[in-house]
Structure 1
Amino acid sequence: MLKNSLDCIEETGKGDISIWLTRGNEEDNFNYLNIMDTAKGIYPKQAEKIFESFYSDRKGGTGVGLAYCKMLMKTAGGDIYCKGKFNQFAHFILKFPKID
């Protein structure tokens, strides 16, 4: 995801990357890693598709990386999803189970 963000920043010549952690509340047994870039953003409909195997809109993209990330997160009991707005931001949220 960081490489994707860096590639988008290089491609557009603009943007920043922010990374932060958030803790779930008492009823939420998860912690969250947030990665957001402000390079070219993402269409909401596209954000739903990017985790599908072999889906890519990038030149030279294989569509394997984010699908693999999704599979790893699900295997670990978590999840990953994306939200964003075209020409504004892409925000990836990795949902990790809390460890006692």
Structure 2
Amino acid sequence: MIHEADAPLLRSRRAHVQDYLDVRQKYLRDPEGEAKQTAAAEAVISGEMEPTTLLKGGETLSLGGDVTVFVGDAVQVHGAATDSPGTRTRPPTATPV
């Protein structure tokens, strides 16, 4: 289960590299950045797959018992593992209600 806007990241390692090129490379200006990101994607992403369920946002999902989540907006912050700070508004993801 993944938001439809994030599905390319599940389907393709190259989508992670393209994300880097579209956003972070503009600021980091690392001439080896694309090669580093490609190597990292190959090393840490075990495989590519097609999502079974695509979310659009606004869905209410039962996780069993009395646990329900509402699919809404979120912000993803990344940095420490990649040695570069950054905040990026991401498409809606599941958040606890």
Q: Same-fold call, TM > 0.5?
A: no
Whichever of the two has the greater Rg, that structure is 2
Q: What TM-score do you get using the length of structure 1 for normalisation?
A: 0.25
